[in-house]
Amino acid sequence: MELKSTSFGKHLAQHPYNRVRLLNAGIEVSGDKHHYLIPFNQLIAIQCKRGIVWGELEFELPDEKVVRLHGTEWQETQRFYHYLLGIWQVWSQEMSEVSAGVLTRQVQEITRIEQQDRWFRRSELAQLQQQIMTSFDALPMPVERLAAFENCRENYQRCLQWLKRGAQSVDRRNLAWTERTIELNQAFFDTVESSPLNASQSRAVVNGEDSVLVLAGAGSGKTSVLVARAGWLLQRQEALPEQILLLAFGRQAADEMNTRIKQRLNVQGVQAKTFHALALLIIQQGSKKTPQISKLESDSKARRSLLMKTWQQQCSEKKAQANGWRQWLQDELEWEIPDGEFWRNKGLAERVAARLERWLGLMRQHGGSQAEMIEQASEEVRDLFQKRIKLMGPLLKCWKAALKEEGAVDFSGLIHQAVNILEKGRFISPWKHILVDEFQDISPQRAQLLVALRKQNSQTNLFAVGDDWQAIYRFSGAEMALTTAFETHFGEGAQCALDTTYRFNQRIGEIANKYVQQNPGQVKKPLKSLTEGNKKSVTLLPEDQLSALLDKLSGFAREDQRILLLARYHHLRPEVMQKAKTRWPKLTIDFMTIHASKGQQADYVIILGLHEAKDGFPAPERESVLEQVLLPQPEDFPDAEERRLLYVAITRAIHQVWLMYDKESPSIFVEQLRALGVPQQRKP
């Protein structure tokens, strides 16, 4: 059957198509110079329209393409349209049965995924979506038409939902699975630790993404989550004990984790290691050698002595070097340097040794040549940085010589070697699950080790527990962005937060949480407390009231309650500590730096040293160009890390916090805390 434009219609319409012919399962539209074949499996809709004189047929195709035929006699147009429509509809109904079968099989697969008893990972979504696309490609009619057929409509919509809103579908499916799974395994979550896990802890434990970041605020039970996670993997038979690796930053933390796992899980094979112990194991198995760790790494006194003597020798033997060091310390760091042979000044030498230790550590962490370090510096500071690197050159050479003489490696060298072995494929990772504690303290070098492990074994899941609000170790190379931009560095995954603290009351939490979140770079998260507290739970007090405060505490603090005095620096240890044992014999009083207090808690906390000065809090920024280049970039927010340090100090307390300030020169923190509603008292 065929329909043509009239001669007059063809002349007036001036359209490329003037004839349509019905084929076996399609139509052919043609003109004097153009020809277009439209199979039924590409036809979405047919429209018949009446113009002022003639008829018009419109054929709608995929991708919003339309083919039109103008200038046909109206009654003939209607007859052709109705005949074509009938043929096309019969074909369509027959093809809908075939489509329904394809869609039914695809929906059965979706249902199987939705009902399977495990977490559905986002990495699996792409595979499912590809399956759906393949099913759509196998259909004998355009997918745009499926919603018009009752036998296809529901299954098509189900497939379309997973295709267009896949992430939401995954989240909805996993939420339902999580709630069901926790309910069915409530006995496990109630008994795996000494106290039952709460809802947010349980949800974190069962999260099965390839990469999981658990944001664990102060006192929220991160260790319980790590232990429970290991226990959960074992109970679900998702891993054997030897396929689970826990990583901690210090030996003490690793030992405590191992003890807790043995006690709570009654299992031997799960191992908690430090990053350095892990690197050592990789080197032993990958190179069949057992490197010796330098004694300098464990003997801080010997380490500083070596660096100090080398520095003094360097200054005394070469005048240019001495002048270079004077310029560095005096002009850049704004230290007061005595005239003459300043390097012989014992106090200054010891102060310099602490800096040398840090600078050398950053250079060793970098691991590259001096030329590569210089290349990394921006053009504005490259010349100055090069001068500083040259001054550090003899110290680096001396350090390497000491290691060689000892036949040993340092910690940075250990990790560099381990990464090299992994990248060369000389170590086969046995771990399916890596669990990392205190993740906010991770450095790029340690992150490189994790990435290399996961590249070596693509089935490895990463479960990281940390708190960006407590990221206080940038000075030693830790990079907070590895936590705040977790997915960028470790792949698509999940982020969840532990929402309850078991340490401090709601008032302490309210002040501390509001304060730290004023920095827009910190991840927003909820953290509620179990007890209320009151307005005096956090108080500002003049520093000359410390003895009076301890007098008052002696009247109500019990012997089994701990009082913790915290300061920014060791040398701010107050003189009252000398007489504390006799003046307040019933009080348990400890002093430590805020950095050292991380992981600690006390019933009552007194924070000292809130004053403006060179040893004030916040500490004034005095970074050398060497630190500017080799450390992670600082945040664009005033006193960002110092504010987190204050957050750490405040959140060590269970019941009450006093912040002791200098009345003559108060810290900027005092006014910021007052703005949050912290009361300022004259006396305790």
- Both tokens of 412, joined, read 């940075």
13 pLDDT above the threshold of 70: no
> Confidence class of residue 173 from pLDDT cuts 50, 70 and 90?
very high
Element (H, E) at 28: strand 26-30
| Sequence ranges of the chain with CATH classification 2.30.29.30 | 1-184
Give the fold, CATH level 3, of 1-184.
PH-domain like (2.30.29)
pTM of the model: 0.88
- Both tokens of 230, joined, read 């290991």
In angstroms, the CA 165 to CA 637 distance is 37
Mean of the pLDDT values across residues 240-269?
94
Nearest to 139 by CA among 94, 100, 93: 100
Contacts 24+ apart (CB under 8 A), 265-270: 265/192, 265/227, 265/230, 265/231, 265/234, 267/234, 267/241, 268/241, 269/240, 269/241, 269/242, 269/244, 270/230, 270/234, 270/241, 270/242, 270/244, 270/246
pLDDT digits (tens, 9 = 90+) for 352-411: 999 999 999 999 999 888 999 999 999 999 999 999 999 999 999 999 999 999 999 999
> Confidence class of residue 539 from pLDDT cuts 50, 70 and 90?
very high
337 pLDDT above the threshold of 90: yes
* Better-scored residue on pLDDT, 592 or 8: 592
Q: Could you tell me which residues come within 8 angstroms of residue 143 by beta carbon, excluding any fewer than 6 positions away? A: 136, 156
424 pLDDT above the threshold of 90: yes
Give domain 515-675's CATH superfamily. P-loop containing nucleotide triphosphate hydrolases (3.40.50.300)
* Lowest-confidence region among 52-56, 238-242, 566-570, 629-633: 52-56
Q: Provide the pLDDT for residue 116.
A: 92
The pairing of strands 45-50 and 35-39 is unpaired
In angstroms, the CA 667 to CA 610 distance is 5
Give the fold, CATH level 3, of 190-294+423-501.
Rossmann fold (3.40.50)
pLDDT digits (tens, 9 = 90+) for 63-113: 889 998 888 889 999 999 999 999 999 999 999 999 999 999 999 999 999
Element (H, E) at 48: strand 45-50
Element (H, E) at 420: helix 411-423
474 pLDDT above the threshold of 70: yes
24 pLDDT above the threshold of 70: yes
| Sequence ranges of the chain with CATH classification 3.40.50.300 | 190-294+423-501, 515-675
Beta bridge partners of 173: none
* Better-scored residue on pLDDT, 306 or 33: 306
229 pLDDT above the threshold of 70: yes
Q: Provide the pLDDT for residue 634.
A: 86
What is the percentage of the chain residues whose pLDDT exceeds 90? Answer: 88
Crossing angle of helices 319-327 and 300-317, in 10° steps, is 120
The SS3 assignment for 4 reads strand
Crossing angle of helices 640-650 and 506-516, in 10° steps, is 170
Query: Which regions of 175-297 does DSSP assign to beta strands (E)?
Result: 211-216, 244-248, 271-274, 292-293
- Contact of 236 with 181, CB cutoff 8 Å: no
What is the percentage of the chain residues whose pLDDT exceeds 70? Answer: 99
217 pLDDT above the threshold of 70: yes
Q: Provide the pLDDT for residue 10.
A: 67
> Confidence class of residue 31 from pLDDT cuts 50, 70 and 90?
confident
Residue with tokens 């509620």: 528
Burial of 558 (0-12, 13-18, 19+ CB in 10 A): exposed
11 pLDDT above the threshold of 80: no
